[in-house]
Amino acid sequence: MAAADPLYAYAVVRGDASPPGRRGVLDAPVAAVRDGGVAVLVSRLSSDHVRAKRRDLLAHSDVLQEAHGNGVVLPFRFGMLFDSEDELRERLIGPRRDELLSLLERFEGVAEMRLRARYHDRESVLADVVKDDPEILRLRDRARSQGDLVQLGERVAKRYERRRSIDADTILSRLGAHADNTYVDELDDELAVLKASFLIRGRKRKKFDAELDAVALRLRHLVAFTCTGPLPPHSFVTLGDS
């Protein structure tokens, strides 16, 4: 007997939630597998070879985003496959039903706001650092030898890192005060100040937005802010293989 077509899983939702009307990964329709108050949004695929191509990454994200607009969503990472509905129930829903119901309750009414803060350029920050440090000014004025230049460079580098840390802590502290939870990513380049996600309840969204505007205004001469959301809580939910 030929094996059944695999199921691609997007997210866990409430048992009475309707699947999004859009098509999903590999242009497959989206349906729901329901079991005891829990549902999993899935697409039945003709192949289990799912690659992270841009079209399918976007399709995965769009399904999650539409579902999130209609209710609570516990997202899977891209590429989660099950052999059949029976396996989905046996491997995920059955053994983790209480956990899933608890998570659905916990993440009801919240969304992820994803923030990236980055210096406009290194020169502007260094200029700001130098003017506030008399020792750097002194070293710069007297630097004659290679040793002087090395000492100056080390001092500037330390002050730069300290300034970046202070700016990151300020942003995280002020915005985190309006979040249920925060998740901080590793920085990926020397101009990055902060990459973080904030879990925000609907009633706190206006305060979060207002605080973000205030922080961005204060640091606008040095830092560019990019905030994306509201999103499903990708950074705060882990639904992997059981």
pLDDT of residue 201: 95
Distances (CA, A) of 8 to 4, 47, 187, 213: 12, 10, 32, 39
Question: Is the pLDDT reported for residue 241 higher than 90?
Answer: no
107 vs 151, more confident: 107
Tell me the pLDDT of the chain averaged across its residues. Answer: 88
The residue ranking higher by pLDDT, 41 or 125, is 41
What is the model's pLDDT at position 143? 57
In the predicted structure, residue 240 carries a pLDDT above the cut 70: no
pLDDT digits 0-9 by tens, 77-105: 998 999 999 999 999 999 999 999 999 99
Please state, in angstroms and rounded to a whole number, the distance separating the CA atoms of residues 57 and 50: 10
> What is the per-residue pLDDT for 46?
83
pTM metric for this prediction: 0.85
Rounded mean pLDDT, 130-136: 67
- Residue 129, token pair as written in the block: 């650092």
What does the pLDDT average to over 145-173? 80
* Residue with the larger pLDDT of the pair 156 and 158: 158
CB burial of 129-158 (b: ≥16 within 10 Å; e: otherwise) equals bbeebeebeebeeeeeeeeeeeebeebbee
Give the pLDDT score at 188: 87
Average pLDDT rounded to a whole number, residues 224-240: 91
Predicted pLDDT at 1 = 32
Task: Say which range, 7-11, 103-107, 150-154, has the weakest mean pLDDT.
Answer: 150-154
Answer yes or no: are the C-beta atoms of 44 and 111 closer than 8 Å.
no
Kindly report which listed range (28-37, 59-68, 144-153, 177-186) carries the lowest average pLDDT score.
144-153
110-236 placed in CATH 3.30.70: yes
Q: Which tokens in the block code for residue 109?
A: 């009414």
Confidence at residue 159, expressed as pLDDT on a 0 to 100 scale: 83
Q: d(Cα 13, Cα 67) in Å, to the nearest integer?
A: 8
When pLDDT is averaged across residues 209-229 and rounded to a whole number, the result is 96
Residues 6+ positions from 97 with CB-CB distance below 8 Å: 35, 36, 37, 38
pLDDT the model gives residue 125: 84
Name the percent of the chain lying above pLDDT 70: 88
